[in-house]
Amino acid sequence: MKKQGILNSDIASVLSKLGHTDTIVIADCGLPIPDGVERIDLALTQGTPSFLETLEAVLEDMEVEHVTLAEEIKVNNPSVNTKVQELFTGERDYVSHGDFKNLTKDAKAVIRTGETTPFANVILRSGVIF
């Protein structure tokens, strides 16, 4: 049995296969997941697991060079936006929610959480460890 890091076998598998600039998405329970993109559904009940606890766990196990968020999070969910900024101090950009949904089509996987606050979604772009 794995001793540390991500225990979820689907997430661990996706992370181990990522190359430089590949992306994954951590999403609230309402974000549409495009056909053909792997869905890793963690949602148990409304709010469980949360977007932030899922993001924290993934950031501990994934080398991330850039994050993308929806512009709308700034006004509609400022506390989550602030926490994302605290958790990841590297490069970030904001795009419209419509553009965000289009970008998810290129992701290797979407991790669906039980989050029910608005625009609690992030695209993580893989970096390299060397």
Name the residues annotated as catalytic. 20
Distance CA 77, CA 8 (A): 28
Tell me if 97 is assigned to a ligand binding site: yes
Tell me if 76 is assigned to a ligand binding site: no
Tell me if 8 is assigned to a ligand binding site: no
For residue 58, which of 108, 97, 130, 103 has the smallest C-alpha distance? Answer: 108
Tell me if 12 is assigned to a ligand binding site: no
As given in the structure block, the two tokens for residue 28 are 């609230």
Tell me if 28 is assigned to a ligand binding site: yes
As given in the structure block, the two tokens for residue 71 are 């512009």
DSSP letter at 107 equals -
Distance CA 60, CA 64 (A): 10
**Which residues fall in the annotated binding site for substrate?**
28, 97, 119-121
**Which residues fall in the annotated binding site?**
28, 97, 119-121
